[in-house]
Structure 1
Amino acid sequence: MPPLARALAAVVAGLAWTVSLYAQGPRGVPRLSLPDAPQERPAAESPTFTVNVTRVEVSVLVHDSAGKPVTGLRASDFEILEDGVAQTMRAFIPFTHTPARLTLPEPALPPATGASPPTTIPPPVSNYFAAESRVFALILDDLHVDVRRTEVARAAARRLVAQLDPSDFLLVVTTSSTDSTGFFTRDRTYATRMIDTFTGRRLLDKTLQSKRFRGDDSENERLDHYQRLCERLRTVSLALREIAGRRKTVVLLSEGSSYGAGMSDMEVRMPTASGSGRVNAGSGSLRLMNDVLAATAGGNVAIYPLNPNGLDVPDADLIQVSGLQAPLSPGQYSEILMEARQAREMTRDLAALTGGVSLVDTNDALGGIDRVLQDASTHYVLAYEPERPLKANESRQIDVRVKRPGVRVLARRGYRAAGAPPAPPLKVPGSVSPRLRSLLAGVLAEDTLPMRVEAVPVARTGKDTTMAVIVEIDGTRIGQRTSNGIIELEQGLLTVNESGKAANGTRRMLTLRPTDPQWAVLAASSLRSAWAVDLPPGRHQLRVAALQAGSGRAGSVYLDVIVPKDPKWPAGLLVASRFLSMVPTPFIDPRLGRWTDMAPTPTRVFPKGDVLSVTVPHDLTSGPSQARLVLPNGQTAWEGAGQPLEGTSAVRFIVPLDEAQDVSALVVTTSHGTQRLPVGIIAPER
């Protein structure tokens, strides 16, 4: 065998060994826990639903007499009736969340401690297990939470975020503003920030408000608050239409609004088996809630209202009007009690009519969050196609039954034609294919083509920051030899600012003709590309998508990127691995050549003995830069100073991984502060 062929064979063998450990878990190194790679799902296991008036999807909870989820049921155990008529089930998915199997492949460090702990660089964003992950939306209804209950509401929201698995997707919105996490994301940073700044601003009940301010009951403002709540519920539900095959949970932190009272009447007006099958939309506040319920039905959304007021009675509010010249009359006190009851009724009925659970009448807000997670983890998703198309303003009743004694079934009770379509998709450049356009403009990432993406700020020019966007596509998907020996990939990149305006739309076609050794390398590793994007200060969504011609496999990843105005912006670490330099990299933006002489990687797991090249922005006039590799026991395995890169405001560290082990921390101190990067290191078996 020629020397070059032997060298390539050795590289292939080494890559196959490392990536097999990385993808399938460690062998002989039990201390470093790495997960299985996401497996490709047969199409039959994950049918695609078109959630509209011709196909109805229902998520169903089945509990035993002790309140525990019942698993192992089959499609034949269920019966669906619409307006009393049995329906033919078209799809059946038993959903069971398995945290251990869905753990993302990123080494994690314990939280930093000390007076000034270093910033831990977040892991790359991936779309791994997107189709099997749980989906939650958290609505912080600050317009209907009393300021005195702010901390209770924050504690419940923090409990939800703390108990989410890394693979879960979360959207957080408020009712007082358009502030939100922007999309369903696995990054908890911005969600936590929103929770920490949440403050209740609920108005006094109408009677108390009028009594305190001499006749001014703030009626218009109160109605505006109710309208905003309805708008958030409807918008979130419409966005959830595109996500199918699992329970979609909306946690509503709210004390409710008396404007929403009367939904119990809607329950009566919902058609029965002997009824007309029609209902006219009400007027005013009732019409708003009708639109909300239509949207929740179209999105198969279950609402879990959680009242931070717990079991308290309105008497506590009377403290706010103490000292009034005229005391409350018995009639006024009755009105206060009535308003409180109506607000609670609103939230209870929202749960009952959407198949959720009311967490209103309890002082255990944290226990309520536990119930939310339990229901999202074990359930069944059924779908059927009604024989008659749904007409405008028509409402139909759904009844789900289980042919097993002693069980309790919880599902939504009906559906209506949605009053409005989802928001129009993002304006994506017309040069991309329709399929890639849908990937870039979607609500949730797609994982048929597993990808990992990292965005690293490398320089600032004027007000803009240059971001290096590194993309790695799982080689086990695209490394299978094609009939013509060619790999064709269409890749797209798009950014969206806080106003929803798209920019930086870029499309690139990659055509590869690998040799035999290159096919082996690709199948054992990944395909890498590196882009450069200039972003102005502000909050952005960075969207990356890829589509493989022929196979139709597709993937997308959405990242949250915040570019601060402060010149001392938090810099990332651009990491390259000498060992992984053989990973196929058909495209690197020429502008990135100033900062790295090897292809950067979002990978954070390396073989023992590898050498890393780590580039970090640094103001050379502020003094030297330092880095050290810290072992799990706190000892330093390596330390060194950064070497300036000519023509840039950056330094480079050459970090050997000879002495490190398990998950070590690379701690780097530059003019931008002190940061640490988790580095997983696997030693070969002896």
Structure 2
Amino acid sequence: MSSRISAPGVLLLLSVFSSPLWAQDVTVLQARSRIVVVDVVATDSKGNPVKGLTAADFQLLEDKVPQTIRHFDEHATVAGDAPAISTPKMAPNTFTNVVMAPQGSALNVILVDALNTPREAQPMLRSQLGEVVDKLPPNTRVAVFALSDRVVMLQSFTSDPAVLKAVLTQRKRMPASASLQAQGGGAGLVGSDQIVGAFDPGTPIAMFERSITNIVGDQQIGMTLDALQEIGQYLAALPGRKNLIWLSGSFPVDFIPDINSAGGLGTFSSMRFYAEEMRKVSSELARSQVAVYPIDANGVQIDPAYTSALPGRPAGAVENDPGYNSRMSSAFSTHLEKVHGEMRQMGEQTGGHAFYGSNNLARFVNQAIERGANYYTLTYVPTNTNWNGGPRSIQVEMVHGKKINLEYRTGYLATDKTVTANNQQTTPESQRTAFSTVAASMKRGAPTPTEILFKIRVTPSGVIDPPAKAEVPVGAGPLAAVSRKQQRRYKVDYAVNPEDLHWRVDNGVRDATVEFMMVGYDRDGSVLNSASRTLSLKLTEANYAAAVKGGLQLAQEIAMPAKGDYYLRIGVMDKETNHVGSVEVSTATLVMPRS
């Protein structure tokens, strides 16, 4: 007996929507009690993870008031080398959402920052990225982002070492120095170009160059903070702990005064303060269960006052002043400590850890992943119910005086917000909505949920010329980008595991309500097209038994531009339970028909 469900118009979709599937009015829930989640990393004096602790070993306080730990869970890697989960061999253009990694493990995001890394440090950074994969524990889920003039996703979450190595070692995919670098170097980084000049810094030309440097620095740091916020917003909808491993040559800190201004002229004209902005970003990241692991991509740095790389000194230059080297060395040391202090603070505020002072960047990345993979999750309901938007401090201590180092987020903002996909700090699993489920599972590059397992076959059409007359008016949204250009249509054949759906049984007939979704993205994560259909399925027991053997087989189509690489996010959701499964397909991986 065939397991194909016969119904008029079953998911043979040629229509699309002009906005994302989740851009619609939805009902959200107001939480009656706020649950705060705190991830705690415990390490010994050598930085090794401490495992086997219990809730009785911890004391948790908010604003110095003891709190009751409501839930406690340990997340730990398996001792020794865990065998890698083998990836099932699939036919061409066939995919599944079977995940080759433990679902409860932390997610890792490697951010390669070319915007704030000096060009001379970038070759060393690139050369070590491949080594990161060689030492990666099996089944570790990693996504790769890059920051240049903007932040881009180079690779969505995967546990496939071959895929990660290809991304991290292909030079053409790695960003080059950002355009701002040619003007101002790393933001906030004191280098020889900033503290060695060829003319008196008290002159008008010197002050003019400082003003240009300040403008460029403001832009660069603003772009950096915006990128962190964007990454935080992307990760907010994904459940569980996320480790943001940030490889950068400089971090948003305050600019120091010009140490060489004559007679005090311009001494404070170069000062900029970014600590408060960074604290706000850190707070938002921590609220989304994102722990930041900053890594200084400069490696070991040498005091520029004592390097032979200094340029020549013309007669009458400020550098000939007997106290110049001393001032330059002092400024270098002060700024370096300031940068490292900001890195430590960033890590401490979010429950992460800062790494600096070594050229072995690959070892730092793997240490960050190791730290972030072994942690304890504590939850509590605050005794203070005044949600006035003010800051709350969190303190976790070991009882009985155990000497263990603890890393955890140190506070949060007590905002009284409704439960949404981007407000996960106090959202228990029981309050998950259809809105938050779709937002998390259909996001470009998100991990693939496996509550509903399925397999798909994607069949691309040949190139289709646009119609002679536009089908939609000007400015009609994403549809115009498809219908007015050459396009391909992608037919998706599903085989869904019916045992993962909730069936209501009445008089020998099973019925379930299932939504099938597709979203087409460009490389930058912008939605170009989408398709969705909700079906009420009714099966006899015989049909159900056949579906268990061969899967619920259905078909769906979506159109995308013919030229370029795009991403199809394909999902199935049980409308009764909000359980979901999804998979992401890059059109670049498909075998295309000959046009």
Q: 1:132 aligns with which of 104, 113, 116?
A: 104
Q: Deviations over 1:11-61 (max 9, x none)?
A: 9xxxxxxxxxxxxxxxxxxxxxxxxxxxxxxxxxxxxx9999933211111
Matched, 1:312 2:315: no
Matched with 2:482 is none
Is the Cα contact below 8 Å between 2:238 and 2:440 reproduced in 1? Answer: no
Is the Cα contact below 8 Å between 1:479 and 1:520 reproduced in 2? Answer: no
Q: 2:88 aligns with which of 106, 113, 117?
A: 106
Matched with 2:260 is none
CA distance in 1, matches of 2:327, 2:312: 19
Displacement of 1:221 in angstroms is 0.7
Question: Percent identity over the alignment?
Answer: 18
CA distance in 2, matches of 1:51, 1:400: 28
Displacement of 1:322 in angstroms is 1.0
Displacement of 1:510 in angstroms is 3.6
Matched, 1:348 2:344: yes
CA distance in 1, matches of 2:440, 2:421: 16
Q: 1:362 aligns with which of 337, 354, 358?
A: 358
Displacement of 1:312 in angstroms is 2.0
Displacement of 1:100 in angstroms is 5.6
CA distance in 1, matches of 2:417, 2:250: 24
Runs of 4+ in 1 over 6 A off after TM superposition: 49-53, 120-123, 418-425
The secondary structure found in structure 1 opposite 2:122 is helix
Q: 2:289 aligns with which of 294, 300, 318?
A: 300
- Rate the CA distance shift 1:451–1:405 in 2: closer, same or farther, 3 A: same
Matched with 2:383 is 387
CA distance in 2, matches of 1:226, 1:142: 13
1:83 alignment partner AA: D
Displacement of 1:383 in angstroms is 1.4
Matched with 1:398 is 395
- Rate the CA distance shift 1:433–1:61 in 2: closer, same or farther, 3 A: closer
Matched, 1:472 2:449: no
1:72 alignment partner AA: G
Matched with 2:430 is none
- Rate the CA distance shift 1:322–1:533 in 2: closer, same or farther, 3 A: same
Q: Which runs of 5+ in 2 are unaligned?
A: 4-28, 200-205, 257-271, 424-432, 466-485
Is the Cα contact below 8 Å between 1:304 and 1:351 reproduced in 2? Answer: yes
Matched with 1:416 is 413
Matched, 1:179 2:152: yes
Displacement of 1:122 in angstroms is 8.5
The secondary structure found in structure 1 opposite 2:489 is strand
The secondary structure found in structure 2 opposite 1:533 is strand
Matched with 1:336 is 332
- Rate the CA distance shift 1:333–1:361 in 2: closer, same or farther, 3 A: closer
- Rate the CA distance shift 1:168–1:474 in 2: closer, same or farther, 3 A: farther
TM-score (normalizing by structure 1): 0.61
Q: Deviations over 1:155-214 (max 9, x none)?
A: 443344452645614141314323224865566465665785233544473773364475
Q: Which runs of 5+ in 1 are unaligned?
A: 12-48, 109-119, 263-282, 426-431, 563-569, 573-615, 619-648, 650-686
Is the Cα contact below 8 Å between 1:51 and 1:298 reproduced in 2? Answer: no
Matched with 2:58 is 78
Larger relative contact order (CA 8 Å, sep ≥ 6): 2
CA distance in 1, matches of 2:557, 2:175: 35
CA distance in 1, matches of 2:410, 2:32: 17
Name the count of aligned residue pairs.
486
Matched with 1:374 is 370
- Rate the CA distance shift 1:257–1:545 in 2: closer, same or farther, 3 A: closer
- Rate the CA distance shift 1:138–1:513 in 2: closer, same or farther, 3 A: same
2:250 alignment partner AA: G
1:459 alignment partner AA: G
Q: 1:254 aligns with which of 240, 248, 253?
A: 248
> Which runs of structure 2 are paired with 1:219-234 in the superposition (5 Å)?
219-234=214-229
Q: 1:68 aligns with which of 48, 69, 79?
A: 48
Is the Cα contact below 8 Å between 1:260 and 1:286 reproduced in 2? Answer: yes
Is the Cα contact below 8 Å between 2:43 and 2:405 reproduced in 1? Answer: yes
Matched, 1:545 2:571: yes
RMSD (CA atoms): 4.1
Matched with 1:531 is 556
- Rate the CA distance shift 1:194–1:345 in 2: closer, same or farther, 3 A: farther
- Rate the CA distance shift 1:401–1:52 in 2: closer, same or farther, 3 A: farther
Displacement of 1:135 in angstroms is 0.7
Is the Cα contact below 8 Å between 1:439 and 1:556 reproduced in 2? Answer: no
Is the Cα contact below 8 Å between 1:436 and 1:546 reproduced in 2? Answer: no
CA distance in 1, matches of 2:238, 2:196: 47
